[in-house]
Structure 1
């Protein structure tokens, strides 16, 4: 029985390893490429891919013979999203905000030292040809990530950087814990975060935190877009108010009473963006 259980576990792990080979950058793969990435033999990969194909986890292009992820993964992803209280509470609110701001709106939660995207909606001034759901991003180089970090202890911030997670994505990325602590103090004071070309050139965002019934910061919401469209010098206060109001609306939907907030969530009128 133990041997059978071990063999079954190994089969599951191998199947998951095969599925994990598919990425945004390499979304169509040959059997030989799957073998190279997993270290499994061709006969094993062929047998397992055939099973995954029958179950709809992968599909094969009839013309090229390449495999890509199939519809069963979409079904499971939808079930996972719909089971998230944060997603259910925020979906319509974020969609409405994208329409009002005409920019992209993102929703993400704190997971394993990273930002985990639950959904995004496009505004007419910030179109995307892909979904962010299921992707991860660094905490220290994103507006939403910094709002989540602002709720963490100084010990956590130092440990985050000690793990080597605070890498530079652009020259504007905050790579020192002392600089991050100063930025987080400013975020706590004014109730929202900005991010300007810290993760990618030419883009910026304004973000605010979301709290659950207990008052714990569990997620964040942001408005984002190209620098030319988000226009932080001219629109920062307007966008900050919109993001804060939307984040508070999600928090209320999760059971949080915003009147219990320990500090004002209204942005100060003369604040400069935090870089």
Structure 2
């Protein structure tokens, strides 16, 4: 039992060391890792040396700074390629981004955050970073709103206490009353929108993806700069594209649709 506890502690410490590179710290000194993790210097040095030997971290030969290595990339690639939503959505999202020249993103819910499974960039929506693997807030994104549609109001409040509905811009929804109203509208229309709620200058349209049980298991969004997405002119077009893409992915996952229920209609003009 003592041996098992020691092994578990070693694994937890190693994961803590790797975790420091995930929060805006691409390159770190040993002393930085010690400070962030609270581990001892000798323990941290041994863990970094072991992780380096396994390619989980690598050390710059000139600066001596540590950064993530290639092993996490390999593991991440295998994990995402084996995810059923990623398999069904990848080609369709790639084609969507190329056709609309905007970003196409697919995410699932991971606890109280959304987790990007994939993203493709259109010519008019370039990004300087890869979204795959990143986590974002549910209440401040179109993808997150679609994922929250799968929860009852009381479940949403338990998952996201109102104090956790942080504001990121002047437009962020920060109360459950306002969030409920937004989600009611999304449920009626079959899609959700987001305009500068997470970051200034960007907006999106998103639609929920369902699995064979009918549960919302993921969401797909079309995103980009405000001027390019132009919801005042293109909401109907982009909403229809998002819904059609979500429906195709859902069918691939085994969803056959609600019995006797008509397909969700896209409004003929913006109701945002």
Q: TM-score, normalised by structure 1?
A: 0.95
Bigger Cα displacement from structure 2, 146-155 vs 49-58:
146-155
Partner of 2:41: 42
Partner of 2:105: 106
**CA-to-partner distance for each residue in 1:91-113, whole Å, 9 max, x for gaps?**
11111110111001110001202
Alignment of 1:223-262 (within 5 A): 223-258=222-257, 260=259, 262=261
Q: Is the 8 A contact 1:241 1:267 kept in 2?
A: yes
Q: Is the 8 A contact 2:142 2:205 kept in 1?
A: yes
Partner of 2:12: 13
- In 2: Cα distance, 1:23 partner to 1:113 partner: 18
**CA-to-partner distance for each residue in 1:164-190, whole Å, 9 max, x for gaps?**
221111111111111111111111111
Alignment of 1:189-208 (within 5 A): 189-208=188-207
**1:159 deviation in Å?**
2.6
Partner of 2:263: 264
Partner of 1:184: 183
The 3 A distance-change label for structure 1 pair 102 and 260 is farther
Q: Is the 8 A contact 2:235 2:269 kept in 1?
A: no
User: Is 1:217 equivalent to 2:216 in the alignment?
Assistant: yes
- In 1: Cα distance, 2:184 partner to 2:258 partner: 21
- Describe the SS at the equivalent of 1:210: strand
Q: Is the 8 A contact 1:190 1:264 kept in 2?
A: no
Aligned length: 272
**1:129 deviation in Å?**
2.2
Q: Is the 8 A contact 1:104 1:225 kept in 2?
A: yes
What do you get for the CA RMSD once the two structures are aligned?
Answer: 1.4
- In 2: Cα distance, 1:37 partner to 1:177 partner: 34
**1:265 deviation in Å?**
2.1
Q: Is the 8 A contact 2:88 2:252 kept in 1?
A: yes
- Describe the SS at the equivalent of 2:269: coil
- In 1: Cα distance, 2:265 partner to 2:101 partner: 22
- In 2: Cα distance, 1:261 partner to 1:29 partner: 58
**CA-to-partner distance for each residue in 1:163-217, whole Å, 9 max, x for gaps?**
6221111111111111111111111111111100111111000000000001000
- Describe the SS at the equivalent of 1:220: strand
- In 1: Cα distance, 2:66 partner to 2:175 partner: 43
